[in-house]
Amino acid sequence: MGATFSRVKNWIAETLSFADLNAEINNILTNFLPAGMDDYSVNVAQMQTKTDPGELASESLATSLAGELERIRFAIAEIKGTDEWYQTADSSLEELAAVLGGGLISNRLISGKTSSNSGQPLYLVPNGSAATLVLEGASTTFSYTIAYDRSGKPKYGIVIGQLENGIRTIASLTEEQDILLKFETKELIGKQCEVEFDPNSGRNIAKLL
């Protein structure tokens, strides 16, 4: 059933009148709202149905409203990093903002230069040399995470921690895939890594010591 509201009248062997026709059309115009449309969660299996919308130049186009909902659910789950779109993520945006101190710029070391492509600040470690970063475990709920590609393989890591001078920073963890796989079972909290600024990517790069 496409609607949750009832029709005004059922006609049985009678002549359709203008009044009846207008009443039925008005009924549709009045009630054809989101609350008046049927759901797409008749059971848990349907509620969990998702469809990958694809990438640029390889899009998967929806052919119904159900298909649109499936693609939106997929995107939400991908953003949150959860199996299902309605699951609670390990860290909320509010928690991440608190860890970062209200913004990335205030938690990284600014070089004084900006990217010619984006105009965004470029970041350095103290004196332009490597510094030691210690991952924060006790005081935060978010210290590192691993990002995966669509095939489920680890792509890169992100670490958030505190430099020796007390300044917090965020850096990309670029390691070989087999090393990233170990991070799924090996705890990194308390480990040390070296942080350097990469002028080619304009990012801080972290490497485990």
pLDDT tens digit sequence for 173-190: 766 666 676 666 666 666
pLDDT for 165 equals 60
Of residues 184 and 131, the one with the higher pLDDT is: 184
Mean pLDDT computed over every residue of the chain: 74
Q: Which domains does the chain have, with CATH numbers?
A: 18-80 (no CATH), 93-208 (2.40.50.840)
Q: List helix spans (H) across the chain.
A: 18-31, 44-47, 65-80, 93-99, 177-182
pLDDT tens-place string over residues 25-74: 999 999 989 888 899 999 999 999 999 999 999 999 999 999 999 999 99
How would you class 206 by CB atoms within 10 Å of its CB: exposed for 0-12, middle for 13-18, buried for 19 or more?
buried
